[in-house]
Amino acid sequence: MPAIARVAAAGVLLALGGFAGWWIGRPAPSASARAPAPAPAVATPASLPSEAPPLSLPNTRVHPVPNSATGRRYEVWVDLPPSYFENDKLYPVVFTTDADYGVPVIRSLRRRIGAKGRNIEDFVLVGLSYGIGEQSMPSKRRDYTPSDPFARPGTRPSNAYSRDDVYGEAAAYRDYIERDVFPLVAKHYRVDMQRKVYIGHSLGGLFGSYVLLTKPAMFSHYILGSPSLWFDRRMLFDLEAAHARQRRDLPAQVFLSIGAYETTGPSPRHMTTDMVGDMTRFERVLRSRGYPGLRIASEILPDEDHLTVLPRTLTHGLLWALPGTGPYSGR
């Protein structure tokens, strides 16, 4: 499937189904019917009308951007707000992991809630794809994790890990973004590279936390949703302690968000580990360091779990990172 079609398919699914899913049903046949109606023929790709073009997302471009150091292939999806074509100013730029989900949702939030810059400042959106030809989870486990849980001597990682996957290449992926993605975006688009916002959820939140602690100046703002700080026996806290021993500052603005159900509990919506406790501990430790350049905001969202929380995290995070011209209007 062409790259544009993949972007288009993601937008169509979200537009039709929202975040929960969709159902298509037929009325049951009348009780007085003499015989059941024949089942309709199932359309196959070959029988679809050739004159029906695929839906594309307006003002969205797809750039093949391989990792120049490793050769691994990726795409960078760039979406421009309509106002981009009406002026010559520089725009802040938002980078999101999990591009197939993040780009359609974030661009819709910018249009609907942003209110043409009144509620959320208009921005250029950049989606970071998974490895081309790879499934999402193996790609994320390789690129978004800072260590290999199987590498610790004598440890037996839980079922949360897969022995079939590669882990621990977050440093290579971080350097790929800085070395290959940033120059492309700066060259081809009218953006303010001093105002770069990072958005990541789950393992993407773990990766963002890793970048924050290793190269904090890569982004001006970090929106870290439900960060998987449990990963590899919470090794990120060891990384934070090492940072604190070596540096006196952590210049960044950080927004932490998580759902109230993302902790242990009896319901199917609860987790098997206390992600809420991990996030609040992370915030508490960072605040305790007294870093002069660090600003932190956080929230625990009621009635949200690991799957439902992200749209609210995105909305609140964008309002926090890129407030519009105001005054805010909810109509």
Write out pLDDT tens, residues 239-270.
999 999 999 999 999 999 999 999 999 999 99
Confidence at 295, pLDDT banded by 50, 70, 90: very high
Kind of pairing, strands 75-79 and 124-128? antiparallel
Residue-level pLDDT at 91: 98
Q: What is the rounded distance in angstroms from the CA atom of residue 220 to the CA atom of residue 205? A: 16
pLDDT at position 20, please? Answer: 37
Binned at pLDDT 50, 70 and 90, residue 5 comes out as very low
- Output the average pLDDT for the chain: 88
Q: Which has more pLDDT, 154 or 222?
A: 222
Q: Give the number of C-alpha atoms closer than 13 A to the C-alpha of residue 171, restricted to the C-beta side.
A: 6
Confidence of residue 184 (pLDDT cuts 50, 70, 90): very high
Average pLDDT over every residue of 40-68 = 79
Q: Which domains does the chain have, with CATH numbers?
A: 3-11+54-150+164-321 (3.40.50.1820)
Residue 14: pLDDT over 50? no
Do 202 and 144 touch, CB atoms closer than 8 A? Answer: no
Asked whether residue 17 carries a pLDDT value surpassing 60, the answer given is no
Q: How far out from the chain centre does Cα 71 lie?
A: 23
Quick one: average pLDDT of 274-296? 97
pTM of the model: 0.84
pLDDT of residue 39: 54
In the predicted structure, residue 31 carries a pLDDT above the cut 60:
no
pLDDT in tens, 228-238: 999 999 999 99
Q: Cα(155)–Cα(237) distance, rounded to whole angstroms?
A: 18
**pLDDT value at 198 more than 90:** yes
pLDDT at res. 18: 39
Whether the per-residue pLDDT at 154 is higher than 70: the answer is: no
Mean pLDDT within 302-322: 98
How far apart CA 74 and CA 93 sit, in angstroms, is: 19
**Residue range 153-162: mean pLDDT, rounded:** 67
Is pLDDT above 80 for 6?
Answer: no
For 90-140, how does the pLDDT look when each residue is reduced to its tens digit (9 = 90+)? 999 999 999 999 999 999 999 999 999 999 999 999 999 999 999 999 999
Give whichever of 17-31, 53-67, 214-228 has the largest mean pLDDT. 214-228
Among 26-35, 161-170, 209-218, the minimum mean pLDDT is found in 26-35
